[in-house]
Amino acid sequence: MIIDGNHLIHRAFHAIQSPLKTSWGEQTNALYGFGSMLLNILDAEKPDYLALTFDEKAPTFRHDEHEGYKATRAKAPDELHAQIPRVREMMQALQVPIFSQEGFEADDLIGTLATHAKKKGLMVFIVTGDRDALQLINDHVFVVFPHKGYKDPEVMDRQKVIHKFGVTPEQIVDYKALMGDSSDNIKGVEGIGPKNAVKLLQEYGSLDGIYAHLDEINGGNYDKLASGRDAAYFSQRMARIVCDVPIDFDSEKTRVSKLDFAGLKRFFETMEMRSLAKRLQSFINEKAPLSSGQMSLF
């Protein structure tokens, strides 16, 4: 299981509106919500392996190539940013490997980890709220959209992507290249909306297929595609997740059976999250099977 740390902490911050604070005045609503969802994930899914990804503050290659990349997004509150280092501390206390790298987004680390895990024969579940991850879905990789504190997650597979969007996971990048993505400020081809993008991809298979048969396309779509060729291929590059980021990946270091739950409990206690510490202690006392593997965690 690969967790998109940025998504989960944003979700936690907005889910808990009341500004929880420690006795020394440090705000912890996002930290508490993240810890609660982490325990829910471990309890519900019982993964054998667990990894976390985070964005770095430094610009990525997409920002270097596209000055306006994600420029339309609202800046996250300072109160949220202040809690990200604590989330990292939480995961370090549990000894969960954290993957991040300057020049790349968390999505690129997710794609790279999923590729490594698939090569080892593992089934991969990506916990995120980012639809960009749908392009990674295959017979071994699934995307999990968490809802309600991870009590009602939506697991996306190949057929669900086709049913919901009309295109396959492999076509998601070209789908965005054609219609654009306002959340990332990716332009796409001006005038080509979702319906046209789906129709074109269903008929010609890919962006390359569309432009290879451009002369067969009649009407306004021809003019839009002909004038928007450069924008389409640039948008394609912006939308495609990199799956070969150079990282040091050792699957054995991500085994849930090797995590330090006692360290996590101490962290919860230090941050005065007594209810989370109590939940974790119940796992320890009952030797609850948080892993589906043969080895007991405690």
Task: Over range 193-199, report the average pLDDT.
Answer: 94
| Domains of the chain from N-terminus onward | 2-157+242-286 (3.40.50.1010), 163-239 (1.10.150.20)
**From the centroid of its chain, how far is CA 259?**
22
Reference 206, options 241, 175, 230; nearest CA is 175
218: confidence class by pLDDT, cuts 50, 70, 90: confident
The Cα–Cα gap between 156 and 153 comes to 10
For 130-167, how does the pLDDT look when each residue is reduced to its tens digit (9 = 90+)? Answer: 999 999 999 999 999 988 777 788 999 999 999 999 99
According to DSSP, the β-strands at 98-99 and 141-145 are unpaired
CA pseudo-torsion sign 110, 113, 119, 120: negative
- Residue 184, both tokens: 């990332």
Is residue 45 within 8 Å of 3, Cβ to Cβ? no
The per-residue pLDDT for 290 is: 44
For 72-109, how does the pLDDT look when each residue is reduced to its tens digit (9 = 90+)? Answer: 665 778 889 899 999 999 999 999 999 998 889 899 99
pLDDT at 260 over 90: yes
Lowest mean pLDDT among 57-61, 216-220, 271-275: 57-61
DSSP 75: P
Find tokens 């994930």 and name the residue: 41
